[in-house]
Amino acid sequence: MKRDSRLSGVLHVLLHMAEADAPVTSEAMAKAMRTNPVVIRRIMAGLRDAGFVHSEKGHGGGWTIARDLADITLRDVYAALGSPELFAMANRTETPGCLVEQAVNAALNSAFQDATALLLNRFGAVTLAALSADFHARMVTSGKFIDLESGHAA
């Protein structure tokens, strides 16, 4: 199955935005992420609607973070993306008439529900500020620095 990397991607973009002191254009982010500006706008749309980021048109426009990084958790970001499916496995039939399948679904659903709760709790416990701090710690440790050209840590 083709796995969804929007959460990973949007977090990456947000942390890069956090490093910039001016609005970042979709094109600049796309270059850094080696993808297309439209893809950036697409994954940012939910965050904009949720009020986590702000976008401005025209000269000097682009994207800015609209809240304190400490006030945005991975769970918020996940929700802003529309709470996409977490698991790669599905029940064969969601509302089966077959009692065997009901028993199978019940067992699998129970496990997946608990795993969902675990994941959402974990996501809720991590703020963008924490991720950013981790990034800065890695920068110190590695001796690498931000490449201002691309907005990417080199």
List contacts with a copy of itself (CB under 8 A): 1-9, 11-12, 15-16, 19, 33, 74, 84-92, 97-108, 110-112, 114-115, 118-119, 122-123, 126, 130-132, 134-135, 138-139, 142, 144, 152-154
* Cα–Cα distance, 78 to 46 (Å, whole number): 10
How far, in Å, are 40, 73, 104 from residue 130 at the CA level?
23, 9, 40
| Cβ proximity to a copy of itself, 58 vs 143, nearer residue | 143
Residue 94 binds DNA, judged by CB under 7 A: no
Residues 6+ apart with CB under 8 A from 145: 139, 153, 154
Residue 149 binds DNA, judged by CB under 7 A: no
**Which member of 20, 31, 37, 126 binds DNA (CB under 7 A)?**
37
Task: Pick one of a copy of itself, DNA, none as the site partner of residue 66 (Cβ within 5 to 8 A by kind).
Answer: none
* Cα–Cα distance, 81 to 59 (Å, whole number): 28
Query: What single letter denotes the amino acid at residue 135?
Result: F
* Cα–Cα distance, 153 to 144 (Å, whole number): 7
**Which member of 11, 15, 45, 120 binds DNA (CB under 7 A)?**
45
CB of 53 to a copy of itself, least distance (A): 16
